[in-house]
Amino acid sequence: MQRKYFDIAKYAFGVVLAVFVTISLINPELLKALSQGTPKIGADAPPTQLPEIVKQFNLAIENASTAVLPTVVAISVESEQKNPMSDFFKDFHPFFGGPENFDQNQKVQAYGSGVIITSDGYIVTNNHVVEGATEDGIKVILFDKSEYKAKVIGTDPSTDLAVIKIDAENLKPAYFADMKDVKVGEFVIAVGNPLGLDFTVTKGIVSAIGRGQLRLPRKSNYQIDNFIQTDAAINPGNSGGGLFDLSGSLVGINAAIATETGGFMGYGFAIPVDIVKTIVEDLIEDGKINRPALGVMIGEVDKVTAKSLGLDKVKGVLVNDVIKNSAAQKAGIESQDIILSIDGNPVNSVAELQSYVIRKKIGDNIKVKIWRDKKEIEKTVKLQARTEDITANDTNAGEDESVTDQNASINFDKLGFSVEPLSKEQKKSIEN
């Protein structure tokens, strides 16, 4: 029996020896690795060491993200839209039969984001996120995955802001930054729920402040075009989410993207926090906006306009028309005046003027410095409530504190001429 076990062991040893000899002839390195145990995977150290300043920058982004994520919510909205096939088929039903429900509305599910602004459940989002929501059709999901039904407190289509409320306590509200401290070039993070990817953080910089004339769909005759531009990635679903600086302070509410594809193409836009604060305070207090109006139709000043009116450089905002019985008319402001400043604050764009007036109250007196007849004049304007029945077709009025149609002609009555943009055909003929 011992002889038998000895023969088996000798045979096994021969097989193992043959395998090692074969391996050594074919792949000596493998034989070496086998003899030394399991091979080491990966290098002993990274190829380069991060400078301490880079580590601190990464840590700042990480800390800001961790701090603000609980202040952002996901919003699911159920709305009803008219069946697009109803008008086409309903006339044929008596002849061909078929479904009886072509006139019924279709339920549509949409998604967006919001930012908690009080510990007891008030949340700011975009008007277009909750617009048309069915009763009990708004659901809010917090960062801890808890869900609540929400009700609409108030909306403002002119700024695309809305306030909703959930029954919750001890929430973490956002800290509002001061817009005077927000600078072009500083790093920001956008937090929201893009494309169904809940609580996503993207990083970028403030690309521009006071960006206007984006030609977004108009929801109101009083639409405010004043945005922070950022290259932090913003996609559908980010709407209503927050744009934060690296201290975790809320800089703006993400509202729009510039896109030809429906997705991010390099930059997006947020509503500045000073406008957000003014609007949400009104909506929470009254459920509506009590906004004052200066009572003018305004446009940007370009080089030609500045030269024709005797300005030494391009500055101010052009008054294209004054609304009848408005605060501006009562104060003596006229068409073709250039508004240079309000209360000593220079205004060099439509967005700056709108942003300043929107933060004032009805009945406030403001000092308006204007340029007329090649000299500066100061007027005191007592702000009035905006006139709700003003329409773009009113020959005596227009969109209060709004940019004039850039394709319309502008009359310089005092100088005896009018100007209008060149058509494509006219530009082509000049180029040729």
Annotated catalytic residue within 239, 326, 355, 402: 239
Task: Over range 345-349, report the average pLDDT.
Answer: 91
Please say if 239 is a catalytic residue.
yes
For the ranges 120-134, 137-151, 193-207, 403-417, the lowest mean pLDDT is seen at 403-417
Q: Where are the domains of the chain?
A: 177-285, 292-424
DSSP class per residue in 37-78: -SPP-S-SS-SSPPPHHHHHHHHHHHHHHHHHGGGEEEEEEE
Percent of the chain's residues with pLDDT above 90 = 56
The neighbour count for residue 194, using CB atoms within 10 Å, is 24
User: Would you place residue 104 in the very low, low, confident or very high pLDDT band (cuts 50, 70, 90)?
Assistant: low
In this predicted structure, what is the pLDDT of residue 356? Answer: 87
Instruction: Specify whether 136 is catalytic.
Output: no
This prediction has a pTM of 0.75
Contact 399, 222 (CB under 8 A): yes
Who's near 281: CB < 8 A, 6+ residues apart? none
Confidence of residue 221 (pLDDT cuts 50, 70, 90): low
Q: Which fold has domain 177-285?
A: Thrombin, subunit H (2.40.10)
Q: Does 61 or 105 have the greater pLDDT score?
A: 61
Q: What are the start-end ranges of the H helices in 211-299? A: 273-286
Over residues 65-70, mean pLDDT:
97
Is the pLDDT at 409 greater than 70? The verdict is no
Q: Looking up tokens 């599910």, which residue turns up?
A: 109
Residue 224's pLDDT band (cuts 50, 70, 90): confident
Strand partners, 257: 268
Radius of gyration (C-alpha) of the chain in whole angstroms: 32
- Asked if 154 contacts 163 with a C-beta cutoff of 8 angstroms, the reply is yes
| Per annotation, catalytic residue among 160, 245, 274, 321 | 160
- Band the pLDDT of 83: cuts 50, 70, 90: low
- SS3 label, residue 216: coil
How does residue 96 score in pLDDT terms, banded at 50, 70 and 90? very low
Residue 317 confidence (pLDDT): 94
Bridge-based pairing state of the strands 175-176 and 249-257: parallel
Could you tell me the two tokens for 8? 């088996």
pLDDT digits (tens, 9 = 90+) for 230-262: 999 999 999 999 999 999 999 999 998 777 677
| pLDDT, mean over the chain | 82
The yes-or-no verdict on residue 52 having pLDDT over 60 is yes
Q: Is the pLDDT of residue 328 over 80?
A: yes
- The residue annotated as part of the active site, out of 65, 113, 128, 245, is 128
Stretch 371-400: mean pLDDT:
67
The residue type of 428 is K
Looking at domain 292-424, does it have CATH number 1.10.150.20?
no
What's the CA gap between 100 and 86, in Å, rounded?
Answer: 10
Helix (H, G, I), strand (E, B) or coil at 159: coil
Three-state SS for 129-157 is HHCCEEEEEEEEECCCCCEEEEEEEEEEC
Question: What's the pLDDT tens digit per position in 253-287?
Answer: 999 877 767 777 788 999 999 999 999 999 999 88
409 among known catalytic residues: no
pLDDT at 218 (0 to 100): 56
Count of positions (residues) in the chain: 432
Residue 416 has pLDDT above 50, yes or no: no
State the Cα–Cα distance between residues 358 and 72, nearest whole angstrom: 26
